[in-house]
Chains A and B, each alone.
Chain A
Amino acid sequence: MTHLTMEQLLALREPGVEPGTAGQRAHLEQCDTCRLERDRLEQRAARLRALPTLRPPRDQWPRVAARVNTVRRQRRIRWMTAGAMALAASLALALLVRRPAPAPSAAAPAEQLSSLQQRSRALEAAIGAYGADARVLDGRTSRVAADLEDRIAEVDQQLERTELAAPPGMGGADLMQLWQERVGLLDALVDVHVTRASNIGL
């Protein structure tokens, strides 16, 4: 007679009825040898559960507490650093906003254009340093900011087309108008972020 294997005996201990085990169950009912083996298995498992509880030789809490405290300290420093950076960026943005945009003047068009381009770069750098992309905005602010960014992208495309189409040194009026529009849009975008920052107390 073929007796049940250890794997089959173990499977019969599992809760639920596995398909295809009816024959094995029937064999177990009739076979003294397999029932004895199953009983030994049960006894072994019971003896395993009754093994004495092993106790830690040393107190591990001081090490766990020290590690938890270290991580907390590092996290606090990170938050403080992030807060200080956000504050500095907000101040920089606020200063830029308060500085008046270059007014149309009697300066030569080339100088005016260069001045607009410089201011455009400064505003972009300030927005980049503020990390506007990584910040959480409320729904309305987010929509306004996205709209401004879309319009800046459109102006950039127009600038590219105008610069390509016009011979060097030409297309001055159109270029000037587009750069003024770009600076105005960037100003507005900075304004959105500064307002948000002051609302949350940074």
Chain B
Amino acid sequence: MDLYPIANAESVVAQAREGDAAALEALFRAFEVPVYNLARRICRTTEDAEDVVQETFFEVCRSIGRYRQDGSLWGWIRTIAASKALMRLRRNKYRDADELHDEVMEHKREDTALRMDLEAALERLGETSRAVVWLHDVEGYTHDEIATMMGKTASFSKSQLARAHVRLRLWLGEEALG
């Protein structure tokens, strides 16, 4: 069952395929919030997340003809959104010419000995780690799927997730046991 059901989904999709503007807007209205939420959890800024929303729905309007009705509509749109958000991260990294940004920032943050809430801790993670945590633990993607979207290996995704959880544990004040 779709997490975000849309009324008359089949007929809306059929009309959207014909280029019907009202149907395309109906798709946008049905999924704009979950797409923005996913984008904002992965991207660094509100502006980046808004750009991802635009790029995602432009792609949806362009390629709705390729959507196979047997799959989940939200699943299809979510994969487009996740790919666009990861693409935005990569682009920002190149733009900043700072490949070690995540590493450096996370080391700085580890020195900050304060207990913070989960929202703030998530925000403090490096972009790649945060993206992996969100896609795996919240959106339910497998490491193989994340690896494909990121152009990395499943081992990379696994180690990023482990590293992120070690840091979240520390920042949330949950002392390591044993």
The residue on A at minimum CB distance from B53 is A60
Total interface residues on A, using CB and 8 Å? 35
**Could you tell me if B19 and A10 are in contact, using CB atoms closer than 8 angstroms?**
no
Q: Does B115 contact A (CB under 8 A)?
A: no
**Could you tell me if A6 and B166 are in contact, using CB atoms closer than 8 angstroms?**
yes
Residues of B within 8 A of A34 (CB): 177-178
Total interface residues on B, using CB and 8 Å? 43
**Could you tell me if A49 and B138 are in contact, using CB atoms closer than 8 angstroms?**
yes
> Assuming A40-B169, A54-B37, is B50 touching A33 (CB within 8 A)?
no
Inter-chain residue pair count (beta carbon < 8 A): 97
**Could you tell me if B162 and A40 are in contact, using CB atoms closer than 8 angstroms?**
no
Partner pick for B177 among A3, A44, A54, CB 8 A cutoff = A3
> Assuming A60-B57, A65-B21, is B37 touching A7 (CB within 8 A)?
no
The A interface, classified by DSSP as helix, strand, loop or mixed, is helix
Within 8 A of A (CB), among B14-33: 19, 21, 24-25, 28-29, 32-33
Within 8 A of B (CB), among A131-183: none
In angstroms, Cα B25 to Cα A61, docked, is 7
Partner pick for A56 among B25, B36, B122, B163, CB 8 A cutoff = B36
Partner pick for A53 among B19, B33, B161, CB 8 A cutoff = B33
Q: Does B118 contact A (CB under 8 A)?
A: yes
- A interface residues, Cβ below 8 angstroms from B: 1, 3, 5-7, 10-11, 14, 33-34, 36-37, 40-41, 44-45, 47-49, 51, 53-58, 60-61, 63-65, 67-68, 71-72
- Leading 8 A-B pairs by shortest Cβ distance: A7-B162, A56-B36, A45-B137, A6-B162, A64-B57, A33-B178, A3-B178, A54-B40
